Every structure is written in C-alpha cells, then in structure tokens.
Structure 1
C-alpha cells in the first residue's frame, strides 16, 4: 500500500479515534494501524478501518470478510489486499475527504434529488435545513458510485432549503466524501434503495456511530395492498437498517405503535431493536396574501357561487380518492351544488382515478386537478375551501389534516390511527369510516347542508395552533442525538 500524505492523515485520524495515536518516531502510522488491528480485530474496528482506508462505507459482508482476513493472515496482509479507493487514483485524488468523529450527519439523498413535496420530503427539509443552518448537522447525499456519503452540492443545498426545483447536478463540482467515525448518523427520510440500506445496516450493526432515524409509517407492511410493488418489495431492507438503529422518532403515536409491533418481531433475529418514541409532527400554514388567493382561484377555477371542497394529497390508492369521486357524484346527482378540487401529483395506481375525473368533467361536473402546486396555492386553497376531505386508509401522521385545521378549515377524515389522534387533539374534524362509502357521503352531505355545524367546526378549526417546525426540529434533534 502506497502511503500518501492524505492517507497518512486519515490513518492518524483513525488511530486518534482508537486512542492509539503514534507517539514514537520509530513507528509509522501504518505500522501502528497493523498492530492495533492485530491486537483487537473487532468488527467495529474492521468497519472503521475499511471506511477510512477505502473511503467506502462497507457492507456487512465487507466487514466480516476483512475481520476474518485479519485474524487468518494478519492485519498487514489483509490491508495490503484491499483495493484502492474508487475516488482515488495514482495520478492524484478525485475527491476531498472529511472525517466526522463527534458530529451529526443527516442523510437526505432522496430529498435533495426530487421535486416531491410529500410529507416525507417536507419533514426532511423542515428539520435538516434548520439543523444545518444552526451548524448542528452536516447534510449529505451519496456519491455517484453509491459507496459513501458526500457533502451536498450548491444546488442540492438549495433544494434542501426549498430554493430549488430539486434537479441537481454535481458533475462539475468537486466532491467531498464524508466518513462518519463516532457521532450520530440520522436517517430523516424513507430509504428504499437496496444499496443504501445495505450500508446503513452495517453502520448500525458495527460502527461506533449511532444510527437513528425518523419513523414515518409501516404502510408497505401493514397495508401492502395500498403500496406500490417496488416500495413493498424494498421496504423490508429499510426496516432491516432501522433494526440496528439506537432510536427512532415516530411521527405520531399511531406510527409508534406500528414500529413497536415491528420491534417485537426482531426478537427472532436476536436483536433488541431501537428505542421508539412518538414525536408528533409540526404543521405551519402562512396566511396567504392577495396574490396567493388570486393564484389559487385561478389554478383551481374557484367560483364564488358554490361551496369549494378541497382534497390535498397524491392520487395513490391509499389516499382513497376514488371514494371521494364516488361520493361527489352521488351528491351532485342529488342536486347539491359544490366545486371539488384535488391538489396533488399522480402516483402509482392512479389510472382509474384519472379516468373517473375525465368522465366527471365530460359530464359537466365542476372538478379540477392541480399537480406540482407550491405552498402559496395550497395554503390559498385551504382558505378558500368550505372544508377539506382526507379519508386515507392509512397514514403515519396526516399532514394535510393539520394544515387544513391550521388554515381554519374543517376536515373530514378517517376515524382511526393518526387521523383520529389529530381530531381528538384539536377538534374541527368529522370522522368517517374510509372503507364505507355511505359514511363519507353522509359526512360530505351534512357539511354541505348544515351551515350551523359547519360554522361550529370552522370556529374550532380557527383555534388550532399546531406545533411549529422550529419546535419539532429542536425536539426531534435532541431525541435522535441524545
């Protein structure tokens, strides 16, 4: 192995992490590394040596293979047999490196590479951007080879803070790899990439770094029929990674209950599983100005002469939007006059929803669809709506429910799980059985015809003051990095 100045510095950093920094002039750092590995060929040291020497976060197989090689042949032979780092060449380095020994690393790879504004992306952005701005955490994405995390590019950093469209490129920017030794590695988003979960699992199992994460829901397990096939297939890898974590902050008590049930099953694999605590999400809604009101009216074709009913969320089957369309058609045929609008992008399984919307519009019913709407249009739409409808079949939290209430707009939502938690905490909510079409029809009919009830629910909603994102970010950071 050729010992460059950069490699020498990394080895010294590793030895200091092991409290074995070289103090004698007659012993080089690499020789001391061999000595320390031979003296203690633990799986933790194997993980850390591989990460520092190869600039790659190793997998479980990598760690076991290297530890066995050290025990069989000695550290020098095992280390000399390691391939060169992918981001290093004999002609010079192609990436800088930062080793984080005591800090917090937040993995936002998916969030900074998507335009999505789903609940998961919103949570990751609202939390990690605050941590980063205060210098509490280092946000990272992954290298092109998917072997190690790296610092964000300028465009990715803008995406994290909400100042970009999410289409980032790092091809023309220098890469700085991040190697975590100690400290905390936080997963604030859903990780479904098999390559990422393999390496995250190894962090939790072997590294001295503490692995923690935000737990959103276990829908792909508890409601598999409502989850896209690729998500359902890959979700167990995500759970395997979390199975080695120290702590998981669930976004609601309902989500915490699901994760605790999953944790009990880990006993069969010889694992204790993470500590799980419920830290309910925040929800902030800005008062839309006249321009936001006007944009919402224009985008959704809102008319003054009829009540406006709003639905926020993607059109995947779990959101139950077909049931809303059916209920709306029944009520229109009964002669009720109202406008219906959906704000949310298409998702898997939305073909039937799209066909039904087209059929209803062709029949002359007042229905509109907006995809990719910004917060100004969404918040403006809430303020225009008489009420919103969110009869989801399963939710980790149900952010549109709280956002609607925070806008002073009553909500029809499901009578169980996190949605019921919100109703019991705040009021301004009508609960329905989302699997019973008649229950949804009756609730919508009542709010369209009973002005006294609607006014009472509106007064309740106008009193709602949800947790702020500043408060949530502080609370979840303190827990995950405890």
Structure 2
C-alpha cells in the first residue's frame, strides 16, 4: 500500500534525501543560533559554518560515487578454533543494571521493563528468569525491582549470585559505557559452560552518524566491538537490524568470536489494557476530534517531527480539519522545530505536544486517534506501528525497510522525509482513497517477545552464524 519503490535507484534517492535533510537541520539550527545570539556567535561563525561546508562537500562527493559492491563474505575472527557448545541452560540472567540505577524511560528501558515482566509472568519456561545487576564486579539479584515491576510481594532482599553450569546471561539493558565492567562475570559464565548474549537495538549511530549526538557513535562502536568479542550470540529487535548487523560486521571486517550467532525478535505491542484507568484531561481534550493523528517518540531529527509539522501546516493552509499530536520527551537538535511548534497559531488548538505520558494516556491516544504517524528515516523496530495496530488503528509510515518488516501490506507508506507526500497520504486516508489494514501488521505481545527470546537464547533458534 502507498509508495512502493524498489531497486538501487530508489535506495540512492532515499539516501540523498536523508543526507539533504541532515544538512538542512544543521543549517536551521545555526540560523536559529545566529538569530537569537548574533553578537555572541558572530566572531566564531566561521567555526560553525566551515565544518558544515566540509561535511556538505564530502556528502555530495560521496553521493556522486556509485554504490559500493557487495562486501566480502568473510571477516576476521577472534579465534579460528570452533566455538564451545554451552551446557544445557537452567537459568536465564537478564541484565537490568542501568534501569535499576536510573529509569530514564527510554525506548531501550521500555523493552527491558516489558521483557522482565513477561518472563516473570510465564509459568512453563524451560529456564528460570533472574533479573540481575552488576555490583562490585559480581551479579546480584534484583528482588526489589522485580517486585515493583511485577506487582509481586517482595520475597527477599537483593543478594549476590553464584554462577552455575549452563547459566545464560542476556545483556538486555543499555551497557554501552559499562560493558567492560562485566569482564569478570563474562569469564566466569564462560568458565561454567554458560553463554553471553547481547541485545542490539539498532545500528543508527554507525549507519546514520548525523542522527546521533555528542560521542554516541564512538561509544556505540566501542561497545559493539567489545560485544562482538565477548558475546556468544547477538540478538536484535528486528530482522532488519539483524541483517544490517551482519552486513556491517562483514563490510567493516570487525573481529568477533568464532561461531558468533545472530538472531532477532519482535518487540511487544500490547500496552495498558482497556479500562485500566482514566487518561489525563489534557490528553482527552487533544483527542476530542475524530481526525487526530498521533506521533509517538522522542523529539529528535530522525523521528521526523519536522516532516509531520510541515505536512500538517500544508493541510491546514488547504483547509483540512485535522489535528497533530506529539507524545514524546524533548531530545536533541530540535530547538528549531520546537520553536516552530510552540509558536504556531494552531498550537493548543489543532497542534499538541505532551512531553510525558504514561501507558494509560498512551492507550487512550491510540484508541482515539485516526491513525498513527511514523515519519522516521531510521529505526530499529517501529513500536508505534505495532502498538497502533494492536489497538486496531492504522499507521502512515515513511517507506524504510524496518517499517516494511513491521507494517507489511497492512500499513500505508510515503517517501522518506517528503512532507508533501505525507500531506497527500493524509488527505487520501481521510477521503477513503488510501485504506490500511491493522490486522496485517506485525503485533506480537510482550509475552510473545519473551518466549521468542527464550527460543533463541536457550533453544538456539538463531538466524545465522557469522563466518
């Protein structure tokens, strides 16, 4: 459904549009700085402009070149010796170190929270799930955290764990900056014929460096290199990410453990059940119109909030009666779009932004929206597409591979970073000319996700083994 292009020409066009979008974002942020702080930045304006010009020249030079040939099929490995098969699993340790220390309510931590709840809700798993955290170089149980997340009565205080034969350690939480601290634990797990599996949420910091902030690309790459050497398996949150991971490792020639396996699962789509509570008055008011479109996600350039705002600006100028609702915390490099949004004449009337919403608010928003929007140019999964489908609502998505994986032929698609194309798709949707089918969208539950993780980590249901 929607824009269905294929082939290298379409991929090159999308790549060019993404790079042009990144350049435009840089320029807009610089123009905003210059307008607000002209005197302060005048003397250093060249230092801002010169790097942008250098990047722009490099990008245009790169785009002028033909696409590279397929990467070689072999990569350097840490050892040519065959991988040791782990002993049968009895316990599945799930790392929750970061979320126990501080729950930032990020997308990664949403996955951690939901997977822990799902695993502890199961009664017939082949292994016993144990949420763990790192403390002073050792693994500890997380009884307090588990009690809070599952609603169970706390049965014990946190205690140090002894690693036993066959234990599996799933590095599910964000350990980018703390991975090395687990070195002794990794060694002990391996000495006891266990296995270490690390979760890869996306490769955006490597494939779309302009979408990241600060030293994230460097930190992420250092973590990935370490995970490739320390892990017996890597598990991604979509098949698209798993395939991107394999291609990246092979193209870059990154060393990894011999026999390193790669698998994938899909995130759950179920959120607060109907009747779980009452949404806030502000959320209810925002969705009092039948034609309210919902965009869920942290405000950052790659999520496409600027594309959605431009599309609805065009619709409002044409007299189309529709609402645009953003739900997501403030991210980075979005000062310009936030200024445009909050100063817009429709803000508070047909344009809304909620920087915090619980699952009850989110469920209400999905239930009462006309459709969900997913205008990102890069993602690891596409949770709003699945969550909307779970609530029976359609999704209008940018045409990127991972969204095709999740949305299939049940979602509607428009060309990436193309605001006029999104505006036209919204009009076609409202007029009944474009029809989506949420029942054909991938929409597993979190319990499905938990079972799938066990199938991979414990029963060795991997996608492939790296050479």
TM-score after normalising by structure 1: 0.67
**Of the candidates 454, 467, 477, which is equivalent to residue 444 of structure 2?**
467
Alpha-carbon offset, residue 300 of structure 1: 5.2
Judge conservation of contact 1:197–1:237 (CA < 8 Å) in 2: no
The residue number in structure 2 matching 1:478 is 455
Alpha-carbon offset, residue 473 of structure 1: 0.7
Tell me, yes or no, if structure 1 residue 413 matches structure 2 residue 397: yes
CA distance in 2, matches of 1:124, 1:466: 18
* Bigger Rg, structure 1 or 2: 1
Tell me, yes or no, if structure 1 residue 315 matches structure 2 residue 299: yes
The residue number in structure 1 matching 2:428 is 446
Alpha-carbon offset, residue 414 of structure 1: 1.8
The residue number in structure 2 matching 1:127 is 115
Alpha-carbon offset, residue 152 of structure 1: 1.7
Tell me, yes or no, if structure 1 residue 106 matches structure 2 residue 106: no
The residue number in structure 1 matching 2:141 is 151
Judge conservation of contact 1:119–1:399 (CA < 8 Å) in 2: no
The residue number in structure 2 matching 1:229 is 214
**Of the candidates 178, 185, 196, which is equivalent to residue 161 of structure 2?**
178
Alpha-carbon offset, residue 190 of structure 1: 2.9
Deviations 1:222-265 (A, max 9, x none): 11111222422211232123203112222211111111123325
Judge conservation of contact 1:310–1:387 (CA < 8 Å) in 2: yes
| Partner SS for 2:343 | helix
Judge conservation of contact 1:300–1:370 (CA < 8 Å) in 2: no
Greater shift, 438-447 or 380-389, is seen at 438-447
- Change over 3 Å in CA distance of 1:212–1:332 after alignment to 2: same
- Change over 3 Å in CA distance of 1:373–1:200 after alignment to 2: farther
CA distance in 1, matches of 2:276, 2:200: 37
The total of aligned residue pairs comes to 361
CA distance in 2, matches of 1:206, 1:462: 42
Greater shift, 371-380 or 296-305, is seen at 296-305
The residue number in structure 1 matching 2:67 is none
Judge conservation of contact 2:292–2:323 (CA < 8 Å) in 1: yes
The residue number in structure 2 matching 1:138 is 130
Alpha-carbon offset, residue 441 of structure 1: 2.2
CA distance in 2, matches of 1:278, 1:116: 25
The residue number in structure 2 matching 1:370 is 354
**Of the candidates 186, 192, 197, which is equivalent to residue 180 of structure 2?**
197
Judge conservation of contact 1:315–1:321 (CA < 8 Å) in 2: yes
Alpha-carbon offset, residue 176 of structure 1: 2.5
Alpha-carbon offset, residue 325 of structure 1: 1.1
The residue number in structure 1 matching 2:204 is 219
CA distance in 2, matches of 1:366, 1:342: 11
CA distance in 2, matches of 1:136, 1:225: 41
CA distance in 2, matches of 1:196, 1:287: 36
* Deviating 4+ runs (over 6 angstroms): none
Judge conservation of contact 2:119–2:447 (CA < 8 Å) in 1: no
CA distance in 2, matches of 1:411, 1:466: 12
CA distance in 1, matches of 2:348, 2:283: 18
| Partner SS for 2:210 | helix
Greater shift, 108-117 or 340-349, is seen at 108-117
Give 5+ residue unaligned stretches, structure 2: 1-88, 460-467
Judge conservation of contact 2:381–2:403 (CA < 8 Å) in 1: yes
1:58-73 alignment to 2 at 5 Å? none
| Partner SS for 1:176 | coil
1:312-391 alignment to 2 at 5 Å? 312-361=296-345, 365-391=349-375
Tell me, yes or no, if structure 1 residue 430 matches structure 2 residue 450: no
Judge conservation of contact 2:133–2:141 (CA < 8 Å) in 1: yes
The residue number in structure 2 matching 1:238 is 223
Alpha-carbon offset, residue 328 of structure 1: 1.3
CA distance in 1, matches of 2:110, 2:295: 18
CA distance in 2, matches of 1:204, 1:262: 27
1:285-324 alignment to 2 at 5 Å? 285-289=271-275, 292=278, 295=279, 298-299=282-283, 301-302=285-286, 304-305=288-289, 307-324=291-308
Which structure carries more relative contact order (alpha carbon 8 Å, separation 6+)? Answer: 2
CA distance in 2, matches of 1:258, 1:205: 31
CA distance in 2, matches of 1:240, 1:181: 27
Alpha-carbon offset, residue 404 of structure 1: 0.7
Judge conservation of contact 2:398–2:413 (CA < 8 Å) in 1: yes
Give 5+ residue unaligned stretches, structure 1: 1-100, 164-172
1:18-33 alignment to 2 at 5 Å? none
| Partner SS for 2:293 | strand
RMSD: 3.0
CA distance in 1, matches of 2:404, 2:170: 29
